[in-house]
Amino acid sequence: MTNVFDYLKKEGEAREEKTRQEQIKAEQAKVLKAQREKEESERLLKEHIVVAERYNEVVADVLEQLIQAAYSNCELRNHPTDASWAIVHQWLETSDTVGIGSMGVRQEIRSETKVSVTIKLDSKSRPLHFLCWREGKKEILSGLSRDELIQALRKLHPPGES
């Protein structure tokens, strides 16, 4: 004998199937969105690297000259993934460690950024200007030419301040 309320069971199963299909679609949309975001991130990363490579020679040369003049205990670091360069002071910090039943020495490499130059890009990853920064100073924008970069770094390092 058939159950006169079978229609309720079928409606419930249909609702469950509809919900399951909606969940599958939502999950597929989520995966697709994540894939698009990853592709966009990779594209931007590649564009940053291309821009950084284009300006690397000029920026590195200017910053190397600055290191020779004022930061002899520092080194130049290039970060092509975000189109930036930094003059960094690095040192080894040693400290005694004491634990239950043991003593030792811990060494840790520390670093401090003294000066940085970053290429700022527009929404289409075209270079707009350099953003120059010095520890303890305001940021300065400069044009993309070698001379404009030098001028901005000189403003950050006025005569009488070493």
- In angstroms, the Cα distances linking 122 to 47, 73, 111 are 11, 35, 30
Handedness of CA 70, 72, 73, 78 (dihedral sign): positive
Q: Mean pLDDT across the stretch 123-149?
A: 92
Task: State the chain's mean pLDDT as an integer.
Answer: 88
Task: Locate the domains of the chain by residue range.
Answer: 6-156
Higher pLDDT, residue 149 or 90: 149
Whole-model pTM: value is 0.67
For residues 142 and 132, the answer to whether their CB atoms sit within 8 Å is: yes
